[in-house]
Chains A and B, each alone.
Chain A
Amino acid sequence: MEIILSFNGGFPRDEKVAKIHSMRNSGELDESEFMDLILQRSSKLIQGLKRLNYAILTDGLYWYDDILNPVIRNAEGIEVNGLRRFFDNNFFVRVPVIKGEIKYRDAGFAQWLKSSVNNARKVMDTNQRIKAVLPGPLTLTYFSEKEQNTSLKNLLQSWSKGFLIESIRIVEEAGYDAIELHEPALVAKDTSEDLVVEALSELKELASTTTKPIFVIIYFGSFNKKNSIWLKKLSDNVTLFIDPFKTRTSVLKRYVSKGSIASLGIGVINARNPLPESFNFYRKWMELAEELGVSELFFGNNAPMDFIPPRPALSKLKKLSRFRREVLKA
């Protein structure tokens, strides 16, 4: 089994990144100056991740405010409105209010993607892969506020077909190696089984529109009978990233049949706790993956890392890197 280190979602913004945002917000920087400075900070992060042997990574998402923004600002038929709590965290996201038909309408996303991927390539090793990050259709639906009488199923389809297919095309065109879809809503308690099933069908359709690998990141909730259909092989190019802090090993053993999943991601770094995990914890999940017959195991953070400060976040990434080195030595 191959262990591949993966950096998922965003890295916490340090004081310097916060200052850049603050200067943009106060009008001291225009969008292009803002982009230059943000990408410089991204380069530093990517260099660090390169030293730690993270083979697949994002740019750190210093230009994102949350998992929905600025992505949804490129959608027609919505307005970005008030803040909503991001699951059970002291973190809030700006949510879309549905006003009409949802369609992709570029508001600078394509340019950001291109600039960021080009910037990353300058510092990455040739064997590293860079991922673009998008919210999944179910999570977009979960956080949407409806003003019109649309069913959740229709809304899910609108986000998927009207917005995400085009977003994925733009990501591909920009030159990314992979796509990271965040779907924490899949394991939210109040997501219905019907929607779970519908979301799976939409995910398969999205996956069929691209040849790029898609990593579906699931966090803050556990798998159960309702959503276990996602624990089967989804599509050739889709890898599921699960949250071991919410999922028991017994649950995986129950729902994943041996040898059915060639590639699996496990978020063994808890992005909500500043203390590092133990090698024993990593080992337990590594052994489980082996037992399930996984050939490609992605180890990384379970969620965007904005919930802890930069220093502990970096320590945790370093520790996981040390673990992998020891496993390779052994």
Chain B
Amino acid sequence: MKKDVNLPILPISVIGSYPRPKWLREMIKQFNEGLIEEKKLEEAFDDAVVAVVKEQELNGVDIPSDGEMRRDEMVEYFAHKIEGFKFFGPIRVWGNNYFNKPAIVGPLKWKEPMLVKEFQFLRKVSSAKYVKVPITGPYTIADWSYILYYRTKEEATFELAKIINREIKALEEAGAEFVQIDEPALTTHPEEMEWAVEAVNEATKGVNIKIGLHVCYSDYSILKPYYERLNVSQFALEFANHSFSNIGVVKGLTKELGFGVVDVHSRRVETPEEVAQAIRKIMEIIKPECLYINPDCGLKLLPREIARAKLKAMYDGTAIVRKELEKKGLNNTPFRKEPYCGY
């Protein structure tokens, strides 16, 4: 039977990460202390994915992720799986928050699929039509690493782009239909944007599935000149964190927009009406058929009950606008993989 490629209008998705259940955090701690075997931890990861996928689906998410339950950190996770990295130890990022910054100490090589098993498990346990697989982009991995082997960051980034490309192709081969490249660092060095954008394109070369690009903590005016050049179908961007004052920056966007409607840095849960209001505002710029609804960023750092409540607010707010659109005959939107949205 042919798959129905339509999604409800204003499809709801997540960026990727979701708070780990408390019991999983305990088990990780026990594993790190040598108290439980790896097999037990693997089982716990699987159970956690089942729980958080269900939680997303119950709260109206149309395109869930696996909550990145197996990933401690978005760069470190990949650095452990790519040949050529070494870890010297954690460093502080701010206050008392640490990051195990990887170092590139040798030629970078793809060893084996990094996310295929994650995807296959997610696909098995989710009842959603489509699921999303987030992958950290080459520029962010390079920017957040010590580059001790390659002569320049650019050289290291393009090597990583080839690796990410190979991984996306492995995901495509395994049946993945929606991969999101996460590039929070992309705009942090405006003078590097020209080649950084090409590195992201290198990562998507020859890929024939839907590719999203998530960029956060950013000045999007730096990204704007590259909207067209980036070979992706969707930009997932944050707006709630800026009280939606920056939405004008997507004027002229001809791709889909994943519109961030809840702030992941605040524990205050948005009301459905606030979410609806924000969606109405963005629809003055982006047509509803080209809009996805998502949180600003990964929900990982929030307490789980707040994350859950934010998902619900996101759904309830979207539902208000969906009803308004229904009256205009807009019920569905196709799942697109093309790098434009019918403008």
The answer on a CB contact under 8 Å between A311 and B88 is: yes
Tell me whether A90 and B143 are in contact in the complex, defined as CB-CB below 8 angstroms, given that A13-B92, A274-B88, A309-B88 are known contacts: yes
Cα separation A12 to B100 with both chains bound (whole Å): 13
B192's closest neighbor in chain A, by CB? A88
B230 → A minimal CB distance (Å): 22
Contact with B along A250-282 (1 / 0, CB 8 A): 000000000000000000000011110000000
The answer on a CB contact under 8 Å between A274 and B146 is: yes
The answer on a CB contact under 8 Å between B93 and A91 is: yes
- Chain A residues with CB under 8 A of B93: 90-92
Cα separation A275 to B105 with both chains bound (whole Å): 10
Contacting residue for B96 out of A25, A92, A274, A308, CB 8 A: A25
Which of A66, A90, A91, A92 has most chain B Cβ within 10 Å? A90
**A interface residues, tally (CB under 8 Å):** 27
Cα separation A288 to B198 with both chains bound (whole Å): 41
- Tell me whether B148 is interfacial, beta carbon within 8 Å: yes
- Tell me whether A94 is interfacial, beta carbon within 8 Å: yes
- Tell me whether A109 is interfacial, beta carbon within 8 Å: no
The answer on a CB contact under 8 Å between A92 and B94 is: yes
The answer on a CB contact under 8 Å between B95 and A65 is: yes
Cα separation A279 to B91 with both chains bound (whole Å): 26
- Chain B residues with CB under 8 A of A308: 88, 91
The answer on a CB contact under 8 Å between B148 and A90 is: no
The answer on a CB contact under 8 Å between B96 and A21 is: yes
The answer on a CB contact under 8 Å between B98 and A18 is: yes
Contacting residue for B99 out of A22, A90, A273, CB 8 A: A90
- Tell me whether B101 is interfacial, beta carbon within 8 Å: yes
Give the residues from 61 to 112 in chain B that come closer than 8 angstroms, CB to CB, to chain A.
Answer: 88-96, 98-99, 101, 103
Give the residues from 37 to 96 in chain A that come closer than 8 angstroms, CB to CB, to chain B.
Answer: 65-66, 83, 85, 88, 90-94
Task: State the B residues within 8 Å of A (CB).
Answer: 88-96, 98-99, 101, 103, 143-144, 146, 148, 188-189
Q: Known pairs A65-B96, A306-B92. 17 more at Cβ < 8 A? A: A12-B91, A13-B96, A18-B96, A65-B95, A85-B188, A90-B144, A91-B93, A91-B94, A92-B93, A94-B94, A274-B88, A274-B148, A308-B91, A309-B89, A309-B101, A311-B89, A312-B89
